Structure 1
Amino acid sequence: MKTTRPTAIGAVAALLIAGAATWFATRSDTPKQSTVAQFTSQGVTVTITVKDHAASHATIVATFAPQKPGFHLYSADLPANGIQGVGRPIKVVPQGKLHGTGPLTANVKVLTLPLAGTNLALPVYPDGPVTAELPVALDGDGAATLLVSYAACSSNDCLPPVTDHPIDLEVNGSGIRERA
């Protein structure tokens, strides 16, 4: 069977694309990220991943994804008990063999949401998922815990807050994993 020129060119192009994809996926400067834990509570799925893991440091990445459209999360800058008791900030607090070395930063800008019928304005993220990163130091091998907090609301409904949901971890030189 004779191969036509366009088919041969297409095959070569496919091989080049596959090779480039493999090269980018295995480059040492490509951030490596691995999923550590996931849970769903009060209308939000939280996924914890780790990137940039090294012997002494890593970055904890927490993605807070509301399960229904139209829900937002409160800013990490909101006071711990909200403003006049309204709202709860997203928080990721490491304990044990991990400790934070910088602030929790989000991938989206904070909006100011006026609370109807009051003179309050609350710092919130836009509706939808929020990914927040926390740089951490690793204090050797052993047990660690992440305490995760948040609250989600829509324009009509607020879900009960989640406060200090524990994620038990094991830290060692080869990675950070959820403890079984």
Structure 2
Amino acid sequence: MNVSPRPRRTRTAPTAVALLCLAALTACGDPSGHDDAATPATGAAPPRTTSFTENGVTVTLSVSDWHAPKGTLTAVFTPEKKGFHLYSTELPPTGVEGVGRPTAVGVTGVLKADGKLTASADVRSISVPGVDAPMPVYPDGPVTTTLPIRADGNGNGNGDATVLFGYASCSAKEGCTIPVADHPVHLRLTDDGPAFAAP
């Protein structure tokens, strides 16, 4: 009696399972093979702080407490060398008898000042050779100023604004640096509030 040989079993089950798993992964993932969860975001949020240095002073500017359409601009003026001071915000625009320049922060464009510029430091008076009137200055070192701001109009639109800085720093021993007038820093008002251009 002839007996037919038993057909050989093939191991297809593990292969089929592997193919199904691969298909599931391909369907759920990015066709390019990249995992979105592992890919870093390319569009970082614009910064709300920026700084610049000119004529011996570093100015750091930030936006805080933004509750549309209002917020606060904070500017910290830091002389690079010890022994240098800044002039009062109350100093006349051309100084006293032509000496000194006020510490100033102004805003133009879609943002406007919503109050007066104030400084955290106390003003003191000093005598400057050749100047009859006393000079109002802040103590040597950094000075923090704040300016209330608001969006022009209803505050719901986007647009550009510019912050303008003016200042001069002086030392009783080394004299004064060249005054800075209307140094511009640009902002962009978005739905999330004002932010500085990314460097």
The answer to whether residue 192 in structure 2 is matched with residue 174 in structure 1 is yes
Instruction: Check conservation: 2:77, 2:143, Cα contact below 8 A.
Output: yes
Partner of 1:29: none
Count, aligned residues: 147
One-letter amino acid of the counterpart of residue 164, structure 1 = D
Partner of 1:53: 66
Q: For 2:137 and 2:116, locate their aligned partners in 1 and report how far apart those are by CA, in whole Å.
A: 17
One-letter amino acid of the counterpart of residue 123, structure 2 = V
One-letter amino acid of the counterpart of residue 154, structure 1 = S
- My pick for the range that moved more, 165-174 or 117-126, is 117-126
Instruction: Check conservation: 1:54, 1:173, Cα contact below 8 A.
Output: no
Deviation string for 1:9-66 (max 9, x for gaps)? xxxxxxxxxxxxxxxxxxxxxxxxx742200000000000111111110100000000
Structure 1 residues 12-161: aligned runs within 5 Å: 35-139=48-152, 140=155, 141-156=158-173, 157-161=175-179
Instruction: Check conservation: 2:121, 2:139, Cα contact below 8 A.
Output: yes
- Return 5+ residue gaps in structure 1 as ranges: 1-33
Q: For 2:59 and 2:87, locate their aligned partners in 1 and report how far apart those are by CA, in whole Å.
A: 14
Structure 2 length normalisation: TM-score? 0.71
Instruction: Check conservation: 1:111, 1:126, Cα contact below 8 A.
Output: yes
Instruction: Check conservation: 1:36, 1:176, Cα contact below 8 A.
Output: no
One-letter amino acid of the counterpart of residue 183, structure 2 = H
Residues 1:59 and 1:65: Cα distance change in structure 2 (over 3 Å): same
Instruction: Check conservation: 2:85, 2:139, Cα contact below 8 A.
Output: yes
Identity %: 46
Shift of 1:83: 0.8
Instruction: Check conservation: 2:63, 2:195, Cα contact below 8 A.
Output: no
Residues 1:48 and 1:161: Cα distance change in structure 2 (over 3 Å): same
Q: Which protein is bigger by CA-based radius of gyration?
A: 2
Residue 83 of structure 2: SS of its match in structure 1?
A: coil
Residue 160 of structure 1: SS of its match in structure 2?
A: coil
- Return 5+ residue gaps in structure 2 as ranges: 1-46
- My pick for the range that moved more, 124-133 or 50-59, is 50-59
One-letter amino acid of the counterpart of residue 144, structure 1 = A
Q: For 1:90 and 1:107, locate their aligned partners in 2 and report how far apart those are by CA, in whole Å.
A: 12
Q: For 2:59 and 2:181, locate their aligned partners in 1 and report how far apart those are by CA, in whole Å.
A: 13
The answer to whether residue 181 in structure 2 is matched with residue 163 in structure 1 is yes
Shift of 1:115: 1.1
Shift of 1:84: 1.1
Q: For 2:159 and 2:146, locate their aligned partners in 1 and report how far apart those are by CA, in whole Å.
A: 22
In angstroms, what is the RMSD of aligned CA positions? 1.3
Structure 1 length normalisation: TM-score? 0.78
